[in-house]
Structure 1
Amino acid sequence: MPTFQNADLHCHSVVSDGTLTPEALAVRAKANGVELWALTDHDEIGGQQRAAAAAKAAGLPYLTGVEISVTFAGETVHIVGLGFDAEDPAMVQGLADTRGGREKRAREMSDQLAKVGIKDAYEGALRYVGNPELISRTHFARYLVEAGYCKDTPEVFRKYLTDHKPGFVPHRWATLADAVGWITGAGGVAVIAHPGRYAFSPNAEFALFSEFKQHGGRGVEVVTGSHTPPEYAVYADMAREFGLAASRGSDFHSPDESHTDLGQLPYLSADLPRVWDLLADRIR
């Protein structure tokens, strides 16, 4: 079985809220020394055939991927799925249902922004959307930067698109049991994405990891573009405590927006079991 160090198992294309095509991401990953790649678009697996074909053309081993939005303890949590059957009917239908609430949420966000003087934000955000079913806060952020309301997307989120700000509208996503069930039912492995990003108390975080494992989750992102170096150590310890395999991914969205490029993260600690070793027979 091949051994991989530079695996990048978390990134996004124009099929969700990235700015590059699946084909361009495959070429970029290969050029950056990635040895194993997965495209993990938000709540969407429509780019998987393109990504797999592009990876094959580039000589890059590939795992199917997705990042599913989940509501847990009142917060939005992301669960990455790897190595599943992208044609599994339950997963396809579940993701379609999850995407269904995005347009209503986006129109409510636009209405809220109009009340503070930002007109036609929905129409502006649509210009940045590759897939209208997946319109998101990121697309609104890009429009607000282009229109001159903020200098960059982090400023947009700080001023408008986070809890208690004018453009924030919560959305009810899938449950943790739903997401893990779809992934495992399709033959894949479920992974908690970038756990350091969530504003959980220690008790709530423990509950997330405990319930995730009870539902059949088997991995956690330890080294990610969303974690600080101290958090690498924290979540390596969490992986050990809960008996979870470690994953690694840049969470790359765009050459202009992402501070971590594909393949540019530190390697995982040598003692941690790798999530991709659980999926050796699924690597294309």
Structure 2
Amino acid sequence: MNSPARATRPPSPAPGLNADLHCHSTVSDGTLSPEQLAARAQGNGVQLWSLTDHDEIGGQPRARAAANALGLDYLTGTEISVTFAGETVHIVGLGFDADDAQLAAGLTATRGGREQRAREMAADLARVGIPGAYEGALKYVGNPELISRTHFARFLVETRVCGDTGEVFRRFLTEGRPGFVPHRWARLGDAVRWITEAGGTAVVAHPGRYRFSPTEEYALFTEFQAHGGEGVEVVTGSHSVAEYAKYADLARELGLVASRGSDFHSPGESRIDLGGLPPLPAGLTPVWERLGGRIQRAMAEPVPIPPAAPVPR
């Protein structure tokens, strides 16, 4: 069980709090360790941070310890891949008990099948003249259970097949392009239940990224709320200014709490750095207000931590 939050410092309910509640480390598909991310967040003025690795909570103890040492308030986090209406949707969980057995088992089951999918992706790339992609992608994987399209993209950039990761996803690894292999993830209801029964809050991540019609998007949020989901990521690295406004309106309409997170993966790849987002629009209930009792408070006096080992290449 996580250490209980101290009641002496209630969380700020202000939408302007610099909270970054969505990012990834080498435990999934980021290029920085949990310790390096904590230092970057703190250095960029983040006041409340969460590490949300894909389908994984193995980095939570390291992230929590690093945040605590740096004087940074922390919420436990993960990002669960689900399949809804034929589309991969991500559900961020925040403020849960990181020792919850049901959540851990659900995430383990969700990670299953990634290796076989990766080998099929590599075989498809080989058919269009790009050999060795599986082995190449593995060089970028901190956790082999979580090999993903991002790792393949880094290999394609390294070998100069593409100039950057944006070009990779325009030419490869997406539906109808070489290297795309679908994967069936967790069910929406299961992901929300794992989070909420572990004491956390479930949030629909970056809804503007999904290729849903208005009817399909409404169905997603209706089912999400029916299962106990409570939040939506309004301000995030992949949203435009217009989408900030759109999903702020949706949060108000449906009574959802609002979250904010950069979705940071790497200094050389991510659109927005940790702590670099604008504040939440006015008139919203921030998710950290709902989770005030779950925030793990920083030490009163930060202490130095040793630098993390360099990321292997």
TM-score range relative to shorter protein: over 0.9
Q: What is the distance in 2 between the residues matched to 1:27 and 1:148?
A: 31
Describe the SS at the equivalent of 1:222.
strand
C-alpha separation in 1, matches of 2:116 and 2:24: 23
Which position in structure 1 is the counterpart of 2:207?
A: 195
Counterpart of 2:261 in structure 1 is 249
Deviation at 1:241, TM superposition (A): 1.1
Runs of 4+ deviating beyond 2 Å: none
Q: Which residue of 1 aligns with 2:310?
A: none
Unaligned segments of structure 2, at least 5 residues: 1-9, 297-313
- Partners of 2:216 and 2:11 lie apart in 1 by 37
Name the structure 2 match of 1:224.
236
1:2 aligns with 2:14: no
Q: Name the counterpart of 1:169.
A: 181
1:276 aligns with 2:288: yes
**Corresponding residue for 2:35?**
23
Alignment of 1:107-256 (within 5 A): 107-256=119-268
Aligned residues: 284
Task: Give the C-alpha shift of residue 95 in structure 1.
Answer: 0.3
- 1: CA distance, partners of 2:188 / 2:132: 34
Which of 100, 103, 107 is residue 112 of structure 2 equivalent to? 100
Name the CA distance, whole Å, in 2 between partners of 1:149 and 1:168.
16
The one-letter amino acid of 2:277's match is: L
Distance in 2 of aligned mates of 1:102 and 1:10: 22
1:106-134 Cα shifts (integer Å, max 9, x gaps)? 00000100100000100000000000000
Aligned: 1:59 with 2:71: yes
For normalisation by structure 1, the TM-score amounts to 0.99
Separation in 2, partners of 1:202, 1:2: 35
Alignment correspondent of 2:86: 74
TM-score, normalised via structure 2 length:
0.90
Identity between Structure 1 and Structure 2 (%): 72
Q: What letter matches 1:129 in structure 2?
A: V
Cα distance in 1 for residues equivalent to 2:251 and 2:284: 8
Instruction: Provide the aligned C-alpha RMSD in A.
Output: 0.6
**Cα deviation digits, residues 124-165 of structure 1 (max 9, x gap):** 000000000000000000001101100001111111110010
Which structure has the highest helix share of the two?
1
**Once the 2 structures are TM-superposed, how far is the Cα of residue 258 of structure 1 from its aligned partner?**
0.5
Shift of residue 270, structure 1, vs aligned partner: 2.5
Q: Deviations over 1:199-248 (max 9, x none)?
A: 00000000001000000000000000010000000000010111100000
Shift of 1:2: 2.8
Structure 1 runs not aligned, ≥5 long:
none
